[in-house]
Amino acid sequence: MDSTRQRRKPGRKSKGVRVQVPVRMPAEFHAEVERISKRDGIPVTDVVTRMIAESLGRPAPEYCYPRPLSAQEELPLTKAS
């Protein structure tokens, strides 16, 4: 096996270089951010990143937006196996 070749890791795609910033916010803000997170199906940190980008007038990274629904249809289960 070639040890110089990098293996592809399973899991989600890298979000790039990021830094951790502990933030304290009013509880009602957090509750609203969590609602947005659940609605959009993305982590709270991505919602906050999107809000920061928007407030700075910069484009938010693609991962900060909800993923479009797949156009793939679900197979009907008509018979039990």
pLDDT digits (tens, 9 = 90+) for 12-68: 788 899 899 999 999 999 999 999 999 999 999 999 999 999 999 999 999 999 987
Q: What is the pLDDT of residue 74?
A: 67
pLDDT digits (tens, 9 = 90+) for 26-40: 999 999 999 999 999
What is the value of pTM for the model shown? 0.69
Q: What is the pLDDT of residue 25?
A: 95
Q: What is the DSSP string of 25-58?
A: --HHHHHHHHHHHHHHTS-HHHHHHHHHHHHTT-
